[in-house]
Every structure is written in structure tokens, then in C-alpha cells.
Amino acid sequence: MLLHCESEHWHIIDIALLPADCGRGAGTKILDALEASARQQGVGALTLSVLADNSAAHRLYLRRGFAEMGQAGAAHIAMKKDLA
């Protein structure tokens, strides 16, 4: 995982899982732990961008409470989860 941390929000640059771990809850556990840590430190939001054609990751982020913020370039969707 690559993460850019600022006081008001943390931007998830990348989360990579081995194919054998996909669909087994690893991504959910990572996001839950990241959110808990951000909340403890008073961070107001998590942000990320996901490839528009990565439907599995997009569904995961929607299930975890991220909302679409629009296009982030030609191939990505910007997403945000408010924590406040």
C-alpha cells in the first residue's frame, strides 16, 4: 500500500493484493484498519482514484462508503470517504 498523508485527508495512492488474496476480505480489512487509524488521528477524509475498468475495486470502495467525485484523468474515477 502507498499512502500520502496530510493533516486534513489521506490519499490512497495504491493498494496491491496478490491474486490469491482477492475476493477473500483482505481489501476490506486493509481499508477498515486504514479508516480506524485515520479517525484516531483526526483525519477528515480518505481519497483515492480507481481505474474505471477495475470494476471489482470500484465495487469494494463503494461498499466501504466511498463516493464518486468525478473523473480523474481519462482512465480513473476519483473517490472520497468523509470521516468527520
Reported as a single tens digit per residue, the pLDDT across 25-37 is: 888 999 999 999 9
The parent domain of residue 68 ranges over 2-82
Reported as a single tens digit per residue, the pLDDT across 31-55 is: 999 999 999 999 999 999 999 999 9
Which CATH number goes with the domain that contains 32?
Answer: 3.40.630.30
Is beta strand 67-71 parallel, antiparallel or unpaired with respect to 76-82?
antiparallel
Report the number of distinct structural domains present in the chain: 1
CA dist., res. 2 & res. 14, Å (int): 5
- Give me the pLDDT at residue 81, please: 97
As given in the structure block, the three cell numbers for residue 54 are 477495475
